[in-house]
């Protein structure tokens, strides 16, 4: 199960799992590090076909990583299921979503 993070920070693939989460986190960290300027960095999650709590854990890791580097990060195109997990977990005030 392959998940890719392209240069525009679009996440494409089936799902983020325990098996690929570390690789996906590292790809996201690299995108945060390569982001230039003060504009908001938008993570497009519309390319994922399934979402679960591991997806939210990776989102939180990216959020903390960006925050530590004083970069603004938001998430776009969350599936209804992923948005439900974020809201049920009480993370909607923490994770900026569009």
Q: 80 in a domain, yes or no? A: yes
pLDDT tens-digit map of 63-93: 999 999 999 999 999 999 999 999 999 999 9
- The 10s digit of each residue's pLDDT in 18-72 is 999 999 999 999 999 999 888 889 999 988 989 999 999 999 999 999 999 999 9
Q: How far apart are CA 69 and CA 32, in angstroms?
A: 8
Domain with 60, as residue range(s), is 3-88
Predicted local distance difference test score (pLDDT) of residue 38: 83
CATH code at position 38 = 3.30.750.24
Residue 96 lies in a domain: no
**Is 94 inside any structural domain?**
no
- How many domains is the chain built from? 1
CA atoms within a 13 Å half-sphere pointing along the CA-CB vector of 24: 28
**pLDDT band for position 98 (50/70/90)?**
confident
Q: Measure Cα distances from 52 to 34, 35, 82 in Å.
A: 27, 27, 7
What phi and psi values does residue 33 have, to the nearest 5 degrees? -60, -35
Q: What is the pTM for the complete model shown?
A: 0.90
Q: What is the DSSP letter of 40?
A: P
Q: Please tell me whether residue 17 adopts helix, strand or coil conformation.
A: coil
Separation of alpha carbons 46 and 43, rounded Å = 9
Helix axes 21-34, 53-68, angle to 10 degrees: 30
């Amino acid at each position: 199960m392959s998940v890719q993070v392209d240069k525009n920070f679009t996440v494409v693939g089936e799902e983020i799992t325990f098996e690929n989460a570390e690789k996906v986190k590292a790809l996201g960290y690299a995108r945060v590090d390569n982001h230039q300027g003060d504009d908001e960095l938008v993570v497009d999650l519309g390319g994922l076909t399934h979402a679960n709590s591991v997806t939210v854990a990776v989102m939180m890791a990216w959020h903390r990583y960006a925050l530590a580097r004083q970069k603004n990060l938001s998430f776009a195109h969350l599936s209804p299921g992923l948005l439900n997990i974020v809201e049920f977990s009480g993370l909607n005030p923490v994770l900026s979503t569009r």
